[in-house]
Amino acid sequence: MNNKIKVKCPKCKKTFNYFDSESRPFCSEKCRLVDLGKWLNEEFAIKESFLCESIDAEKETMTE
């Protein structure tokens, strides 16, 4: 089976074969680490309202 899917890296926008990259969904280890660094530096975040809704829904399922 010859898997070839061309996608764009979410970080640098370079087109690459998805199955050739060990850093999926990124094209390289560098792009993966740059993205991780932004999460760790809190440049990216999940909206608080989304987190609150998720926690409330989880509490409801636990009490049933």
What string of DSSP letters covers 23-63? TTTSSSHHHHHHHHHHHHTTSS---HHHHHHHHHHHHHHHH
Q: Give tens-digit pLDDT for 12-51.
A: 999 999 999 999 999 999 999 999 999 999 888 777 776 6
For residues 23 and 2, the model is more confident at 23
Number of Cβ atoms within 10 Å of the Cβ of 32: 19
Three-state DSSP class for 3?
coil
Domains and CATH numbers, the chain: 6-63 (3.30.50.10)
